[in-house]
Amino acid sequence: MSISRGAKDLRLPLMNLVRLKGTPILEQLHLEERLLRASTHNWCILNDGTNLPTIVMGMSGKPSQLLELGPVIKDRIPVIKRFTGGGTVIVDKSTLFVSLICNKDDVPSVQPYPRSVMAWSGSLYGQVFEGVNGFQLRENDYVFGDRKFGGNAQSIIRNRWIHHTSFLWDYNVRNMAYLKLPSKVPQYRKEITQISFVE
């Protein structure tokens, strides 16, 4: 019942659903970009984990600034750049990916600008996690209290946009060592260590 109410309140568009399990993140990103650019339909893509640990960077990310290159090269960790902005994340079998690809006119309450899309997604996930203590959208991160558990990236083209999220349900502390602390972090995380994700 709450899902129906939430869908009505958020004016969710009719969406095609694609469910994947363990699909390599590069393959998923190729699919998303094709659907964003070549389709005229709305899509929700769910991928339950990616089998091979992989570092994913935003399109403007610089490896030397964001990655511990020595260990990444030594351990042969794949690094890819996605077609959207956003930060850098290492993903694996414990990551749940959710991507929303929408026509601007099908979600009239959302302006085709990053903050508007983020506010809408924050409301959407707020209803998904209703009753879970401490969930909120904080400076482009999904958190429980002060602990980040989801990051996102977006791309807006013509009359369409994509918003994709990597929810880290669990993480390997060793994998986090491949990433440098970014020079620019949200205010709420200024005093938090890199491994302060939900445990």
Contacts 24+ apart (CB under 8 A), 150-155: 150/125, 151/86, 151/87, 151/89, 152/86, 152/118, 152/121, 153/58, 153/82, 153/84, 153/85, 153/86, 153/87, 154/84, 154/85, 154/86, 154/114, 154/117, 154/118, 155/36, 155/83, 155/84, 155/85
pTM: 0.85
198 within domain boundaries:
no
Domain-embedded: residue 195:
no
Give the tokens for residue 166: 């990597």
Instruction: Please tell me the total count of domains within the chain.
Output: 1
Structural domain of 9: 2-189
Which residues are CB-neighbours of 159 under 8 A, at least 6 positions away?
103, 104, 105, 112
Terminal CA-CA length for the chain: 30
Coarse DSSP helix, strand, coil percentages of the chain, rounded to the nearest 5 percent? 30, 35, 40
Q: What is the pLDDT of residue 191?
A: 55
CA 153 and chain centroid, separation:
5
Cβ atoms of residues 118 and 136 within 8 Å: no
CA distance 196 to 8: 35
Those residues whose C-beta lies under 8 Å from the C-beta of residue 173, and which sit 6 or more positions away, are: 195
In a domain, 184, yes or no: yes
For residues 154 and 161, is the Cβ–Cβ distance under 8 A? yes
Would you say residue 58 lies in a domain?
A: yes
Strand order in 160-168's β-sheet? 16-22, 43-50, 95-103, 160-168, 147-157, 141-144, 135-138
Residue at 196 is within a domain: no
Give the pLDDT of residue 198: 44
pLDDT attached to residue 170: 85
Give pLDDT tens digits along the chain (199 positions): 223 333 445 567 899 999 999 999 999 999 999 999 999 999 999 999 998 999 999 999 999 999 999 999 999 999 999 999 989 999 999 999 999 999 999 999 899 899 999 999 999 999 999 988 889 998 889 999 888 899 999 999 989 999 999 998 888 889 989 999 877 665 655 555 544 444 3
The verdict on residue 194 lying in a domain is: no
Domain CATH code at residue 98: 3.30.930.10
In this structure, is residue 79 part of a structural domain?
yes
The answer to the question of residue 199 being in a domain is no
Q: Are 56 and 80 in contact (CB under 8 A)?
A: yes
Q: Could you tell me the two tokens for 55?
A: 């570092």
